[in-house]
Structure 1
């Protein structure tokens, strides 16, 4: 790493201003020139700056750091325990002290991904902000990861259009960056997922196929299965059901070979959604129930299956079974951490059906009209707005409150229009 970048990164890591570091050694303007490689400072000046920073600018065996960094970077993209990831992080943090390796910058950028893996979005944003001043000095590989991880952060925060802007910038850097084929495939898969989130179905199909071509060539069957799920979702949305089923079955087959219960559950959930969209209630219920039959199911997957079953039972007028599933869902949500992002959505879904099934008209209208619908509008969750605005519209129509019913049916149409625009 150039000495100017080395000085700059350690100053920023220590929350020092240029004025703080330069005081009594050089002028602020001269320090700025050093940091931005616009002048070559004397060894004496560099030594004084390093002493103030409490670091040493020394040669480091890049091959050692390269191997250790790559190992840690890989850990961040697979299912690994926090203990394993943290142990490697702490080892690297110690090795990086005073290093002038080019991998130090990549290490700092990968901390964004590290914090996101840990679920520490606040720390990820803090790291992004601390590196922003350095971004103009990043070489191509560093710029690639900088853009990608900014995209990851925005995706976690559900700012999908902003995430896609960063992913496209990362994609532009691929030809110049020193990255592996699997890394390129991971970006294409990530873009496919994001296109799916913003309902750009044709792009989701295109990028899934681009990713799967690389993953298949490298015998990465786990990632192939993930791509097949995105393809299944995409074909379901455009009602090409035979291709959707084919891709879901391929995903499940690969997941079973890998004994990956998470992917098997995800495939079954999506097969349930597919049959529900076809109006095949019996098959939809079969696949959603298959998720609940497993002993180890994480809370979010369980709530997805439960809420989907409630919808199927409710729409087929099997109200006793719908009530059973509502009770099961409410028991499940009690054990979900209050800071879990999905908790609010499923609390509202379960409450909506609870009050409807128990014919508690006042509470139904209070929670759905005054809380749930505004929440979905704020989240721009148009798919759920279609479902629940339609449910409220029918509720008012059954009570001959046609003006109120019309208001929510209009909201259904507006939400459909937003989905089409997306």
Structure 2
């Protein structure tokens, strides 16, 4: 037959994809119990039976065409790995899916596993979860390479939905497979990079530095300027968090230099955004404002980056009692940008930030208190966004202190302090 795969899993996968029962597939070919044994790897069917089952499923066993499918799959995996061209990703996927619908290929399982990544790239989280649940039943039959991507892409899913601890567990399982499979160094670097990013979300600083440096070593050898820059940014964030500011600035400057060499506006402005955070942290408000303004005014970068910059700009102006006019102008601009992303997940955080400062600036304190106490703080707790929880608990506490409500003030200062303790102990 020439197909060196677990045929039972493929029969089962094709049958379920076509919404066919075991009885419908088995009728006139084999008994129901025998088909069940084939699908559950408890027996090996003869080539003749496999051929009849495939014919009923509407698929062919074509070794020559399988080489074509293999090449097209490799091309698609590469596009998923490197490209941001969603139209090309979708078109290539559809072309391969058409071939898979009518040909039983040894590439089918790997193709199905990569669909998890495909749906995540397109922002289709529910579809990614459906694919994970569909493949879970046959995960025991995956070889080491299939298991590597199975763990990695499930980690990607968990990271996307904010379950970072679970994502790290899955990435570690993928890492354990690295020495058992033949994969390119670029793939290993990508795994280490996403592990660094995920550890950064959990504020595991030492792990971030370790994995980012491992990834950077490979990216430097391959002259992958974009990924080198991204690794330097992740390192810069970690060094900023542990107050090693000189090292942080060094990494940010390297990232920006690489972004300029590669004419990569996204990398340049992401670096500027993080330089703004750093200067804000050390009290250099004027420098922070310059960096935030540069990002917020650049219409070529993502709206998420612009909103992150403009909300940070609002914070800087809020701290300066002489910047009331700039504050109002910036809030108006923030509302304009936020309106274009209000249906996206990221909008909710920015919505709360902008409205909080808007109410505080205009002296609409009842609305300010209602929003922060009833909606914003519960949201930050739910998201485990401890850094922002410290900021806005302190802001609320200072407000209560300013109007003489000391009991409420102490309550929110305590929340800020306990959250800060939790933050530094993560």
User: TM-score band, normalised by the shorter chain?
Assistant: over 0.9
Number of the residue aligned with 2:334:
329
Number of the residue aligned with 1:263:
267
Q: Are the counterparts in 1 of residues 341 and 347 from structure 2 also a CA contact under 8 Å?
A: yes
1:210 to 205, 208, 214: 214
Number of the residue aligned with 1:250:
254
1: distance between equivalents of 2:8 and 2:87?
A: 35
Deviation sequence 1:337-391 (CA, Å, 0-9, x none) = 42x0111110100000001001111111111111111111111111100000000
1:236 equivalenced with 2:259 (yes/no): no
1:99 equivalenced with 2:99 (yes/no): no
RMSD: 1.6
Task: Give 1:58 deviation, angstroms.
Answer: 3.6
Q: Are the counterparts in 2 of residues 58 and 98 from structure 1 also a CA contact under 8 Å?
A: no
Number of the residue aligned with 1:401:
405
SS at match of 2:81: coil
- CA gap of 1:216–1:77, structure 2 versus 1, over 3 A, is same
Number of the residue aligned with 1:370:
374
1:38 equivalenced with 2:42 (yes/no): yes
Number of the residue aligned with 1:159:
163
1: distance between equivalents of 2:410 and 2:26?
A: 68
1:316 equivalenced with 2:320 (yes/no): yes
Segments ≥4 residues shifted beyond 6 Å = none
1:52 equivalenced with 2:56 (yes/no): yes
SS at match of 1:175: helix
1: distance between equivalents of 2:146 and 2:389?
A: 40
1:357 equivalenced with 2:342 (yes/no): no
Task: Give 1:195 deviation, angstroms.
Answer: 0.2
1:132 equivalenced with 2:139 (yes/no): no
Between 245-254 and 213-222, report the one with greater CA deviation: 213-222
2: distance between equivalents of 1:403 and 1:219?
A: 58
Deviation sequence 1:70-122 (CA, Å, 0-9, x none) = 11111112233221111111111122234343321111111111111111111
1: distance between equivalents of 2:201 and 2:223?
A: 27
Between 73-82 and 220-229, report the one with greater CA deviation: 73-82
SS at match of 1:388: helix
1:123 equivalenced with 2:98 (yes/no): no
Task: Give 1:333 deviation, angstroms.
Answer: 1.2
Q: Are the counterparts in 2 of residues 60 and 101 from structure 1 also a CA contact under 8 Å?
A: no
Q: Are the counterparts in 1 of residues 115 and 131 from structure 2 also a CA contact under 8 Å?
A: yes
Q: Are the counterparts in 2 of residues 13 and 130 from structure 1 also a CA contact under 8 Å?
A: no
Deviation sequence 1:310-343 (CA, Å, 0-9, x none) = 11111122222122111111111122242x0111
2: distance between equivalents of 1:192 and 1:368?
A: 32
Which ranges in structure 2 are unaligned for 5 or more consecutive residues? none
1:223 equivalenced with 2:245 (yes/no): no
Number of the residue aligned with 1:284:
288
2: distance between equivalents of 1:117 and 1:155?
A: 13
1:274 to 248, 271, 278: 278
SS at match of 2:63: coil
2: distance between equivalents of 1:71 and 1:337?
A: 35
SS at match of 1:57: coil
1:149 equivalenced with 2:182 (yes/no): no
TM-score, normalization by structure 2: 0.95
Between 255-264 and 408-417, report the one with greater CA deviation: 408-417
2:395 to 387, 391, 395: 391
Q: Are the counterparts in 1 of residues 338 and 351 from structure 2 also a CA contact under 8 Å?
A: yes
Which ranges in structure 1 are unaligned for 5 or more consecutive residues? none
1:182 equivalenced with 2:186 (yes/no): yes
TM-score, normalization by structure 1: 0.96
Deviation sequence 1:28-51 (CA, Å, 0-9, x none) = 442232123331213343233223
